[in-house]
Structure 1
Amino acid sequence: MTWKEWKEAYGLNGFCLKVIAVLTMLTDHTAAIFLTPGAAYVNLRIIGRIAFPIFCFLLAEGAIYTHSLKRYALRLFAFALISEIPFDLAFHKTVWYPSSQNVFFTLLLSVLVLWFYQWTYRRRQIILAVPAAVAAMALAEWIHSDYGAMGICMVLLFYFLRDLPWWKYLLIGGFFAFTWWGLLQIYALLAFPLFLFYNRERGPAFNKYVFYGFYPVHLLILWGISCIL
């Protein structure tokens, strides 16, 4: 059995990666909201670093397979708005905290860059996509969306390097290892071995809005528990 055949039979599909991302995100947010810095806090947040690269990876895959990037962007925009109050309550204990925006805004900006790239590609004006990408990254930093410009950069690398062989993950991982130093961020590289097992299958049919909705709902639940405690 070849490696390709093994992945098709036993590899990770998109549904499996989403479940891993959701569980590791829940682990990360639970530690961030309930624990104080210490061994348990650090270990759980290390596990949590796995989530975001998976979301970026799946977003890049989704941008390739979706029938409409415009509708994709509208969904992300809707959930960015829905999630902002739960995000602020959970992490900043207030209904409105303008100095930090939830991760859906970063994902939304990433999809808008890809949509504009595809638009310029069809018109043979790809050069216009470069300043658009830079502007999106600057906007992400300006509004302080989760992961900011580096988050957008990660999505773009997954998208444009998709058809390279397995060593593309060394390139992407190496790039972030040398440019994305910060509190625990280096541990995001733990997600990259999972992509080697991805078989490009969607997996079991499952309502996508469940995964979208999990983000604001779990933040509200964690915030509610923190208020009780």
Structure 2
Amino acid sequence: MFKTPFKKPRSIKIQINEFKHGFLSSVNALIKFNKYTFSWEFLTSTIIRWIAVITMFVDHFAFVALTPLDKNYVSMRIIGRIAFPIFGFLAGLGINYTSRKLYYVLRFLILAIVIHVFVLIFYFTNISTQLEPLYLNIMYILFLGTLSGFVHTKNNLIGFGLIISIFVILFSLEAFPIRATINSSSFRFYIDYQTYGYSVIITSYLAYYYFNKINHEYKLIFFKIAFIISFILINIIFNQIGFTSNIQLYSLVTIPLFLFYSFKKPYSHFILTIWFSSAYAISFILPALTLF
């Protein structure tokens, strides 16, 4: 008998019950701590992703709709420093976790292109955002980071070659900026977070990839320690060589989130998946609409 390859949609009742179970599980996790992973079980990827999204909205509102002369501009940009380290950390873990690695990688590329189309629309319709036509959004750096991880999982040697190559290219673009003239105005070509962002993603990916192979009950604690130390060094080094501003050092406040991060699989729902996938684009579009 022929069987359809499609799953039968879950009923509303089943989805409600799953939501109740997920909610109660999250409440119970508030008082649970795993000593083997040094994890507060409430602090799952979903929880810290919410923190990243909220702080990202604050940051992008200032970046798009305000100017550096506005009194709240700097404080809102400081709040926004919390967002990227979380996204980079989760992207590095995600390419390790997911069984659909190529889909995971290409999703970032598709989102990057869609967002860039809006950036070009805003620029060529004379909407006065701070987004420039040669600005490549953060999704491009997440794409490059996860692509490197994907290739590394297939072939470690080729993967390391790609990682080094991309790092050198990004570093060179920062050290020797490329500019182009559009409509009589000169613009710099750059990718958001550039070498710094790529380093955070790759550090998360490689640290988990190798420490997870260790046959030791505290291996995930070792991963956390390695990532946190590397994250601190990345912030200090890139600040000292002038590749990041002083306010980027505020990103170090995310360290407790990484230290107590829970590896427990969180409650998931397709609505949450859609929301988190589209939140970055929405965080640019909504502030831009206020400028019409």
Q: TM tier, shorter chain?
A: 0.7 to 0.9
Residue 163 of structure 2 is matched in structure 1 by 133
Residue 113 of structure 1 pairs with residue 148 of structure 2: yes
d(CA) in 2 for partners of 1:57 and 1:29?
20
1:158, distance to aligned residue in structure 2 (A): 1.1
Match of 1:212 among 250, 260, 277: 277
With the length of structure 1 as denominator, give the TM-score of the two structures. Answer: 0.84
Maintained 8 Å contact 1:66/1:72: yes
CA RMSD of aligned residues (A): 2.8
Maintained 8 Å contact 1:56/1:107: yes
3-state SS of paired residue (2:152): helix
Match of 1:19 among 50, 60, 70: 50
Residue 148 of structure 1 pairs with residue 210 of structure 2: no
d(CA) in 2 for partners of 1:151 and 1:90?
25
Structure 2 residue identity aligned to 1:133: I
Between stretches 17-26 and 189-198, larger displacement belongs to 189-198
Q: Deviations over 1:87-133 (max 9, x none)?
A: 45668948994421011110001111111111113xxxx2x323311
Change over 3 Å in CA distance of 1:20–1:90 after alignment to 2: farther
3-state SS of paired residue (1:44): helix
3-state SS of paired residue (1:154): helix
Maintained 8 Å contact 1:100/1:145: yes
Change over 3 Å in CA distance of 1:165–1:58 after alignment to 2: closer
Residue 76 of structure 1 is matched in structure 2 by 108
Aligned counterparts, 1:1-229, within 5 A: 4=35, 10-37=41-68, 40-88=72-120, 93=127, 97-121=132-156, 126=157, 128-140=158-170, 141=173, 144-162=190-208, 163=211, 164-181=222-239, 182-183=244-245, 184-207=247-270, 208-227=273-292
More relative contact order in 1 or in 2 (CA 8 Å, sep 6+)? 1
d(CA) in 2 for partners of 1:115 and 1:10?
28
Q: Deviations over 1:131-183 (max 9, x none)?
A: 31122234554752111122111111112223325432441232123222132
Change over 3 Å in CA distance of 1:132–1:77 after alignment to 2: same
3-state SS of paired residue (1:144): strand
Structure 2 residue identity aligned to 1:113: S
Unaligned 5+ segments in structure 2 are 1-31, 179-188, 212-221
Number of matched pairs:
222
Structure 2 residue identity aligned to 1:168: A
Structure 2 residue identity aligned to 1:160: L
Greater helix share, structure number: 1
Greater strand share, structure number: 2
Change over 3 Å in CA distance of 1:80–1:41 after alignment to 2: same
Structure 2 residue identity aligned to 1:176: I
Residue 7 of structure 2 is matched in structure 1 by none
Structure 2 residue identity aligned to 1:216: A
d(CA) in 2 for partners of 1:146 and 1:169?
21
Maintained 8 Å contact 2:228/2:259: no
d(CA) in 2 for partners of 1:148 and 1:106?
7
d(CA) in 2 for partners of 1:100 and 1:22?
21
3-state SS of paired residue (2:192): coil
Between stretches 139-148 and 89-98, larger displacement belongs to 89-98
Task: Select the structure of larger CA radius of gyration.
Answer: 2
d(CA) in 2 for partners of 1:138 and 1:100?
19
3-state SS of paired residue (1:161): helix
Maintained 8 Å contact 1:137/1:152: yes
Unaligned 5+ segments in structure 1 are none
Percent of pairs identical after alignment? 25
